[in-house]
Amino acid sequence: MNRMRFEENMKIDRDYVLSLIEGAKDTTDEEIDRILEKAKDKKGLDHSEIAALLEITREDQAQKLFEIAGKIKRDVYGNRVVLFAPLYISDYCVNNCVYCGYKCKNKFKRRRLTMDEIRKEVEILEQMGHKRLALEAGEDPVNCPIDYVLESIKTIYDTYEKNGVIRRINVNIAATTVENYRKLKEAQIGTYILFQESYDEEVYRKMHPNCIKGDYDYHTTAFDRAMEGGIDDVGAGVLFGLADPKFEVLSLMLHNQHLEKKFGVGFHTISVPRLRPAEGVNLETFPNLVDDEMFKKIVAIIRLAVPYTGMILSTREDEEMRKFLLEYGISQVSAGSCTGVGGYEEAANGRNIDQFEKADERTPIEVITDLIDNGYIPSYCTACYRTGRTGEKFMSIAKSEKIHYMCKPNALTTLMEYAVDYGDEEFLKKAEKFVRDQAFTIDREDIREFTISNIQKLKDGQRD
């Protein structure tokens, strides 16, 4: 049984996490085999079991871990991959995060987008086919107050390009008050995303010297406040590379369990950002960088531990790593991203001003073509959010696995819509064949027929 280790408010019990790591050191091979077998039931894992899997070094056990993670991924998410793009609206920042190119110590001309500039960025994103954005901003109560963020959200939802609108805005802004979370909820955001950066309090303080973000307790309890403010989809993550990754993964799981016990639902998504080079950031000065092999295992272990929590991978990772992890756990990826303020217009003009270096520079259509070639259905679906299937409601449908009957036709329909609106003749032909082939694999006749009938409707110009 998992030990419940939380008071009303979120607090990581450091000694408990360290004891889990220590206790896992002499896990036997038989024990690892038993845990891997148990994971196949998709009921999650105990903390000590997660700690044990983090000790896997033997190649055959790692292979078995990937196999099971891959099977869970396919059972829960099928071959669908949700696509999104980040939109940076302001790089004003009062914080001094050691790892970040936006730290206030870095002197460059800061800016926040005007509403006209936001409209321009959104039009470019819409022309790329995006329907789902992650809004990003540095923390600055004066230059980037909540009212500005709310106005930006309204502007984004109200911006129409000839092929449609942004249908879901996830928001990644600094930890804030219950009142502000309530306002974000009223503004109809999708997921509220906040990375813990590190759960290790000592490392956290070192990484955030002399700044607002340095308040570990305030940051760690942000999701409690978000949920009190009515936001029921929250997206977590740690920045891998700052502290011991075993400590971080176990703490993420404790945090998730805390929210499940207190609010009835845990994380909607988990992101797995890994530290990248940035302005004034020298990776050689970080002693806990996570290598590729460990990173792959971490994603697979999280997949086993929380089978129904979406997992997000950004363009911080290269094409090869993205391809590998899509097979073993990741359900959402960003595509064609710019990680700088006004970045899409700048990129359109041939300049580049990113917050950190990306590793995958492909355009959305290149990513989509590659996904199709590898048998994945790129999805722009936002139906759950639009029909109120969020929080606990979403999780209970996801756990019944009936969600396939909604998600697959929706994903195929949005891919077909994308092909009609953005593809050239060759892409349209390729996508239509793929959508038809995939539709034929749907075992319920009514849903199969419905999906196939959508193809012609979309080609005739109908939209939902």
Q: Which residues bind ligand SAM (CB under 6 A)?
A: 99-100, 136, 138-139, 172-174, 194-195, 197, 213, 239, 273, 275-276, 278, 281, 316, 355-356
Instruction: Please list, in sequence order, all residues whose beta carbon lies within 8 angstroms of the beta carbon of residue 403, skipping any fewer than 6 positions away.
Output: 397
Burial class (CB in 10 A: 0-12, 13-18, 19+), 245: buried
Could you give phi then psi for residue 369, rounded to 5 degrees? -60, -45
In this structure, the chain runs to a length of 464
The smaller minimum CB distance to ligand SAM, of residues 27 and 315, is found at 315
Smallest gap from Cβ 34 to ligand SAM, in A, equals 35
Smallest gap from Cβ 91 to ligand SAM, in A, equals 8
Smallest gap from Cβ 242 to ligand SAM, in A, equals 9
The smaller minimum CB distance to ligand SAM, of residues 265 and 341, is found at 341
The smaller minimum CB distance to ligand SAM, of residues 99 and 328, is found at 99
d(CA 415, CA 409): 10
The smaller minimum CB distance to ligand SAM, of residues 159 and 355, is found at 355
d(CA 187, CA 92): 22
The smaller minimum CB distance to ligand SAM, of residues 49 and 244, is found at 244
d(CA 139, CA 91): 8
- Closest by Cα among 120, 118, 91, 88 to 103: 91
Smallest gap from Cβ 404 to ligand SAM, in A, equals 32
Smallest gap from Cβ 88 to ligand SAM, in A, equals 7
Q: What is the DSSP string of 48-99?
A: HHHHHHTT---HHHHHHHHHHHHHHHHHHHTTEEEEEEEEEEE-------TT
Q: What is the largest CA-CA distance in the chain?
A: 63
The smaller minimum CB distance to ligand SAM, of residues 47 and 276, is found at 276
Indicate the helix (H) or strand (E) that contains 310.
strand 310-313
Smallest gap from Cβ 100 to ligand SAM, in A, equals 4
59-77 helix and 29-39 helix, angle to the nearest 10 degrees: 10
Instruction: Give the three-class secondary structure for 365.
Output: helix
Instruction: Tell me which amino acid residue 65 is.
Output: L
d(CA 419, CA 432): 8
The smaller minimum CB distance to ligand SAM, of residues 99 and 295, is found at 99
Smallest gap from Cβ 251 to ligand SAM, in A, equals 15
Instruction: Give the three-class secondary structure for 191.
Output: coil
Smallest gap from Cβ 93 to ligand SAM, in A, equals 7
The smaller minimum CB distance to ligand SAM, of residues 133 and 416, is found at 133
The smaller minimum CB distance to ligand SAM, of residues 199 and 434, is found at 199
Smallest gap from Cβ 173 to ligand SAM, in A, equals 6
Q: Which pair of tokens denotes residue 15?
A: 């000694």
